[in-house]
Amino acid sequence: MNAPAVNRQWILARRPEGAVRPSDFRYQEAPVPAPAEGEVLVRTLYFGYDASQRIWLTEDGGYMPPVQIGEPMRTMGIGQVIASRDSAYAAGDLVEGFMSWQDCVLARADGPMPLRVLPKAQYPLSWNLGIFGVSGLTAYFGSTDGLKVKPGDVVVVSAATGATGSLVGGICKALGAKTVIAVAGGADKCRWVIESAGYDAAIDYKSEDIGQRLDELCPQGVDAYFDNVGGHMLDTLLLHMAPRGRILICGAMSSGYTDVKLKGPSNYMRICTHMLTVQGILLFFYRDRLAEGAAQLARWVAEGLLHVEQHVVEGFQRAPELLPTMFTGKSPGKLLLHVADPA
């Protein structure tokens, strides 16, 4: 694959206040860089969208350094190696990992998650950002190693139509869970999780009383809660956990991620009185087990146990306009931007 004549970029123009807006980014063109020793030059093909990108735009940055004003916006991406000065990568390799909103990125293997060389596979390349990327692997390790879902469990999953949550239902059923309950916004999404994503029941958090519905659906309590939302929803779930229940803190969508400092739940003492286990997850901790997770997910897909949903938008120019939709309502599954095809 040849390098393009210019390197199109979307850079951070100003740090967003509150909700992120497309106008927080600015388009520019720059020369295509040359890789130094230990670096790889990658042509970007797909950008994946993750709510955590909003955290990287705060002054603090959260669990990664903040994106600086003037820098191309960081993203998870799929690309093809154009030139390599690292013996672990060869020109032509298809890779997945941290990239940024530009045609060509320079990458190094010494970051928190080095670029993964993608295996030749039967499935679409873009799945490496969804089911075989951060979303699916977080769903997998969160349900197995984190929540330790086992046969007979009653599991609740919030943000259940999201890229992660849309896979957690099927994974928990594959692990033998008795009942998997989705929490999603709106009647259409609640229907979708049951018809397409393997859930047994759904609660519409926008129009229903979550506590009342949990009393109806699982009067004995919730054994495992996969929490993507935090805030008021986590507080409600704390009141409905079974003794010795497990909670996985995967994300805090309700915060909008405009600040890294969040208030904890007020029903905190339930953790004590019900002997609950609360655990977090960050995929970086599983960096040596990614292939194992992807292999199990692939087996479940082949067995028809998992449904893969993605929404692919076309065109580099649209990169900034998609980011706010993570918080304002998006289609079920993984949101991706397709920017180029491999050679």
Ligand X SMILES: NC(=O)c1ccc[n+]([C@@H]2O[C@H](COP(=O)([O-])OP(=O)(O)OC[C@H]3O[C@@H](n4cnc5c(N)ncnc54)[C@H](OP(=O)(O)O)[C@@H]3O)[C@@H](O)[C@H]2O)c1
> Hey, which residues between 30 and 69 contact ligand X (CB under 6 A)?
50-52
Does residue 162 bind ligand X (CB under 6 A)? Answer: yes
What does the DSSP 8-state code read for residue 72?
A: B
Backbone torsions φ then ψ of 18, nearest 5 degrees: 70, -140
Does residue 75 bind ligand X (CB under 6 A)? Answer: no
311: CB partners within 8 A, 6+ apart: 330, 331, 332, 333, 334, 335, 336
Does residue 134 bind ligand X (CB under 6 A)? Answer: yes
Q: Which of 264, 217, 214, 216 is nearest to 239 (CA)?
A: 214
Applying CB under 6 A, which of residues 75, 135, 179, 236 lies at the interface with ligand X?
Answer: 135
Does residue 250 bind ligand X (CB under 6 A)? Answer: yes
CB of 89 to ligand X, least distance (A): 24
84-85-86 Cα angle (round to 5):
90
Does residue 165 bind ligand X (CB under 6 A)? Answer: yes
CB of 275 to ligand X, least distance (A): 24
What does the DSSP 8-state code read for residue 191?
A: H
CB of 273 to ligand X, least distance (A): 26
| 142 neighbors 155 (Cβ within 8 angstroms) | no
Backbone torsions φ then ψ of 41, nearest 5 degrees: -100, 125
Stretch that binds ligand X, among 1-9, 76-84, 116-124, 247-255 (CB under 6 A): 247-255
Applying CB under 6 A, which of residues 73, 78, 155, 283 lies at the interface with ligand X?
Answer: 283
Q: Taking the chain, what is the end-to-end CA distance rounded to the nearest angstrom?
A: 5
Does residue 210 bind ligand X (CB under 6 A)? Answer: no
> In the complex with ligand X, which residue's Cβ is closer, 52 or 258?
52
> Hey, which residues between 298 and 337 contact ligand X (CB under 6 A)?
326-327, 329-330
> In the complex with ligand X, which residue's Cβ is closer, 95 or 253?
253
Question: Which residue number places its CB atom closest to ligand X?
Answer: 251
Distance, in Å, from the CA atom of 53 to the CA atom of 288, rounded to the nearest integer, reads 23
219 residue type, one letter: P
> In the complex with ligand X, which residue's Cβ is closer, 8 or 116?
116
CB of 277 to ligand X, least distance (A): 17
Distance, in Å, from the CA atom of 315 to the CA atom of 276, rounded to the nearest integer, reads 46
Q: Which of 205, 203, 243 is nearest to 223 (CA)?
A: 243
> In the complex with ligand X, which residue's Cβ is closer, 9 or 138?
138
Backbone torsions φ then ψ of 279, nearest 5 degrees: -130, 150
Does residue 20 bind ligand X (CB under 6 A)? Answer: no
> Hey, which residues between 178 and 207 contact ligand X (CB under 6 A)?
184-185, 189, 205
**In the complex, which residues of this chain contact ligand X (CB under 6 A)?**
50-52, 134-135, 138, 159, 161-165, 184-185, 189, 205, 228-229, 250-254, 281-283, 326-327, 329-330
